[in-house]
Amino acid sequence: MIYVQIFLAFFIPGILGYGGGPASIPLVENEVVDHYGWLTTNEFSEMLAMGNALPGPIATKMAGYIGYEQGGILGAIVGVFATVAPSLILMIALLGLLMKYKESPRVKRMTTYIRPVIAVLLGIMTYDFFFSAYEGAGIWQTLFIGVVSFFLMERLKVHPAYVIAGALVYGGLVLG
């Protein structure tokens, strides 16, 4: 029964919390403090402050922490899943709709207009990542990782996940 309660405590704010994590904080508070009584208002505010100090989305951190406190590891998994489930369900439904009408001239035109925007956004993200890495690791380390990554993925066809893991290990050993 506790897992159903954990699921509902985070699924309902996920559906109603338009705007993501920050918008759903009051809804989560209502569920875990007022409805189920798992935390006091003071404990919730302390947990929220700690969650804001950590990187990543606040809603999933709250769900993981509260789910773990109430139901152990399985409770944490249920809480995090319940938080992302509304977006996941909507995304799958919209993808199904898009696939159904993929031959439509309007959908083709829409994807034609969206591709350049995505390319520009990825370019800006790459630019920001490069200068962030340059400031943290230096130009030579950044170029080395970039060149080796390009060679591994383009010439040797190594899967990007392995290249990322290798870069993380290299950064941890050499730069850490």
**Average pLDDT score over residue span 152-159:** 94
Nearest CA among 35, 82, 40 for reference residue 59: 82
Q: What is the pLDDT of residue 52?
A: 85
* pTM as predicted: 0.61
Assign 112 a pLDDT band (cuts: 50, 70, 90). confident
Q: Hey, what long-range contacts does 12-17 have (CB within 8 A, 24 or more apart)?
A: 13/59, 13/83, 14/59, 14/82, 14/83, 14/84, 14/85, 14/86, 14/87, 15/86, 17/59
Nearest CA among 44, 89, 81, 46 for reference residue 60: 81
**What is the Rg, in whole angstroms, of the alpha carbon atoms belonging to the chain?**
21
Assign 21 a pLDDT band (cuts: 50, 70, 90). low
